[in-house]
Amino acid sequence: MISLNGSSFLQQQQPSICKSCGTFDEARRSPVAFVTLRSKPNGRCRVASDGNGRVLVDGALNEDGSSSSSSSSSSSSSVLELDSKSSGGGPDVYGEDRASEDQLVTPWAVSVASGYSLLRDPHHNKALAFSEKERDAHYLRGLLPPVVVSQDLQVKKIMHSLRQYQVPLQKYMAMTDLQETNERLFYKLLIDHVEELLPVVYTPTVGEACQKYGSIFRRPQGLFISLKEKGKILEVLKNWPQRNIQVIVVTDGERILGLGDLGCQGMGIPVGKLSLYTALGGVRPSACLPVTIDVGTNNENLLKDEFYIGLRQRRATGEEYDELLHEFMTAVKQIFGEKVLIQFEDFANHNAFELLEKYGTTHLVFNDDIQGTASVVLAGLIAALKFVGGTLADQRFLFLGAGEAGTGIAELMALEMSKQTNVPVEEARKKIWLVDSKGLIVNSRWESLQQFKKPWAHEHEPINELVDAVKVIKPTVLIGTSGVGRTFTEDVVEAMAALNDKPIILALSNPTSQSECTAEEAFKWSQGRAIFASGSPFDPVQYKGKTLVPGQANNAYIFPGLGLGLIMSGAIRVHNDMLLAASEALAAQVTQENFDKGLIFPPFTDIRKISAQIAADVAAKAYELGLATRLPQPKDLVKYAESCMYSPTYRSYR
């Protein structure tokens, strides 16, 4: 039931959660109504769909949504007849799982005050794509020029203008503007041109956007929860206009990519990641909530920057920090339920591991930097080995960087090795060596090692330099997760190439400036023999007449599909076996043809298909482990995942 103040701009959705799916694109599963309220007298009126393709306006429904007086309203002028066939927009992908409309928990309707407001409502605006009939029905006459264009033509036009910008940040800002004015067009653009636009809305450009967030800030795109809100977080969460939240990405801004502490300006990261949840994983935008927790910043430049948007104080730590985070985690569960997925993003090491451990047993939490990166990298290695031969256990691994990504990847690889070869995980860990800023992690450093590094302390004499570690450990795989650029120097890559016919070199730190080496350097210094992938994208490299294509070990391969799988199965916890399932699903998508081009990841153009496969395998694992609550288990999980995905195609508002 929706109460509206008809004179003000309002856009409310009472989402129809499908009982069988529990999620996703309300447009597909419910009669869709777009009601334009024209100058309703004295304040409050009610609008709802009766579930039979009609929209009831003004007191036709009871508070519980039942349409007791609907008979009287069905013939009145306040009931709009809906064309429910055209409501979904885009192909019907439900097949046999399609929920019948009478399964809907709550019918819903959408309303705005006038055609003018409709054009300014990003969730429903179609701009020039409003049809003649819609222009008549929704008071749009005269507010638009006469031409009616298709969504495809709009996409073409915006791509044309985006390509005029030389500076990536300008493209980022143009995309942000589009997201804030026409959400469906934004997602259509992103889905149709994913390879071109991923680096614009996400790594690496999002890094620069965060650095300059204060200067480019126009409208808030998520929730800012600062120390000022301590004690009131539940109220703050209620200020968010949506209730049916399924994924939250939260950061405290302390370690944004490899760029360090950007404080409150880290908001660009949750916003960017959640755009990908929708574009790549099909989670509907209204179910996504970006959050930045602002406990201050230790970045002196930001503290001095007059345009800084965050708290102007040094970071709170210890009890004050823990209490704020705990209040947030408790409030989220209270208001959105236990099945809301909380993705931790770009926390500093000292908090990231603790938060994951602390809330891993009570909440549905996932740390993208520890677990997401791990799952992606493991997928790349499984794929590479599929083509070059050998098993994970045959390899020797050396990492530069022993933070979230390094130890996260190492642990997941050890788990996979242990699973493949039936050896205890402690044994499997012995094949993996890590170097941090103080050199090789060895037993003699035990006392001073942070907890999360201890599993990687092996018996060996200390080694300070990476190149010496390469020569002594003789790795077949070298992985950079240091956050420090240009650390895979010529002698390091040459040492790898001297040891291996096909050295696997992964330079994972982000953004591009922090990459341990460039694609060109990896290929040149290994005489074109390296199997190379990086965290941030690099262009193809010409080497001795051959085009070598660097792969991108991009987290976006995993988290959208993983999230979709968790949501659609109603999972209540994330389990390592789900991450392994996601890795295997991704690796299975890499073809010989991809590998022949030098790629150990599939092209992003297929990402929605890939996400559906990952989601299905993750959901299957959730059911197998007894962690799924959405019962019964759908027969065909891939088909089901696809049917749940949000489509950005415009809907018809008739």
The smaller minimum CB distance to Mg ion, of residues 183 and 369, is found at: 369
Question: Which one of ligand OAA, Mg ion, none is in contact with 535 (Cβ closer than 5 to 8 A by kind)?
Answer: ligand OAA
- In angstroms, the CA 209 to CA 635 distance is 43
Strands (E), 521-608: 531-534, 541-543, 546-548, 551-552
Q: Is 369 in the site for ligand OAA (CB under 6 A)?
A: yes
Q: How far is the CB of 257 from ligand OAA (least distance, A)?
A: 4
The catalytic residue among 172, 202, 359, 640 is 202
Phi/psi for 395 (5° steps) reads: -90, 160
Q: In this structure, what token pair is assigned to residue 386?
A: 């599929």
Closest approach, Cβ 375 to ligand OAA, in A, equals 12
**By C-beta, is 508 or 612 nearer to ligand OAA?**
508
Choose from ligand OAA, Mg ion, none: what does 203 bind? Cβ within 5-8 Å by kind: ligand OAA
Residue 151 or 509 with smaller CB distance to Mg ion: 509
User: Which phi and psi angles does 189 have, rounded to 5°?
Assistant: -60, -50
> Please, is 212 exposed, middle or buried when counting C-beta atoms within 10 Å of its C-beta (0-12, 13-18, 19+)?
middle
Quick note: the x/- pattern for ligand OAA over 190-209, rule CB under 6 A, is: -------------x------
Give the E-state strand segments of 227-268 in sequence order: 247-251
Nearer to ligand OAA, 336 or 347 (CB): 347
Instruction: Pick the closer one to ligand OAA by CB: 184 or 255.
Output: 255
Check if the beta carbon of residue 559 is closer than 8 Å to that of residue 368.
Answer: yes
Burial class (CB in 10 A: 0-12, 13-18, 19+), 77: exposed
Active site annotation includes 202: yes
510 belongs to the binding site for ligand OAA (CB under 6 A)? yes
Sites of contact with Mg ion (CB under 5 A): 345-346, 369
Residues sharing a CB contact under 8 Å with residue 440, sequence separation 6 or more, in sequence order: 433, 434, 460, 462, 463, 464, 469, 473
Catalytic residue chosen out of the listed positions 126, 188, 273, 453? 273
**Nearer residue to Mg ion within complex by CB, 252 or 346:** 346
Beta-carbon count within 10 A of 606 CB: 12
Measured CA to CA, the distance from residue 609 to residue 83 in angstroms comes to 30
Q: CA 352 from chain center: how many Å?
A: 17
What are residue 365's DSSP bridge partners? Answer: 342
Query: Which amino acid would we find at residue 529?
Result: R
The distance of closest approach from Cβ of residue 368 to Mg ion in the complex, given in angstroms and rounded to an integer, is 5
- Please, what is the minimum distance in Å from the beta carbon of residue 273 to Mg ion? 8
- Least Å distance, CB 369 to Mg ion, is 4
Residue 555 interacts with ligand OAA (CB under 6 A): yes or no: yes
245-264 residues in contact with ligand OAA (CB under 6 A) are 257
Between 15 and 281, name the residue whose CB sits nearer to ligand OAA.
281
How many residues touch ligand OAA (CB under 6 A)? 8
Please tell me the distance from the alpha carbon of residue 517 to that of residue 599, in angstroms, as a whole number.
Answer: 17
Measured from each CB, the residue nearest to ligand OAA is: 203
Residues 14-53 that bind ligand OAA (CB under 6 A): none
- Whether the Cβ atoms of residue 484 and residue 361 lie closer than 8 Å to each other: no
421 neighbors 391 (Cβ within 8 angstroms): yes
Report if residue 265 touches ligand OAA, rule: CB under 6 A. Answer: no
Task: State which residue, 537 or 648, has the beta carbon closest to ligand OAA.
Answer: 537
Residues 320-349 that bind ligand OAA (CB under 6 A): 346
Cβ–Cβ < 8 Å for 35, 23: no
Provide the residue count of the chain. Answer: 654
Catalytic annotation present for 308: no
| Burial of 326 per CB tally in 10 Å (0-12, 13-18, 19+) | middle
Residues 296, 283 contacting (CB under 8 angstroms)? no
> Phi first, then psi: what are they for 212, rounded to 5°?
-110, 20
Secondary structure element (H or E) that encloses residue 250, with its range: strand 247-251
CA 570 to the chain's CA centroid = 18
Q: How far is the CB of 548 from ligand OAA (least distance, A)?
A: 22
Contact call for residues 564 and 607 (beta carbons, < 8 A)? no
In this chain, which of 261, 368, 416, 642 binds ligand OAA, going by CB under 6 A? 368
Summary count for the chain: helices (H), strands (E): 26, 20
* Smallest separation, CB 217 to ligand OAA (Å): 20
Using rule CB under 6 A, residue 104 touches ligand OAA: no
**Residue matched to tokens 């415009």:** 650
* Residue 346 vs 416, nearer CB to ligand OAA: 346
404 contacts which partner out of Mg ion, ligand OAA, none, CB within 5 to 8 A by kind? none
Catalytic residues: 202, 273
Kindly list the residues in this chain that would bind ligand OAA in the complex (CB under 6 A).
203, 257, 346, 368-369, 510, 535, 555
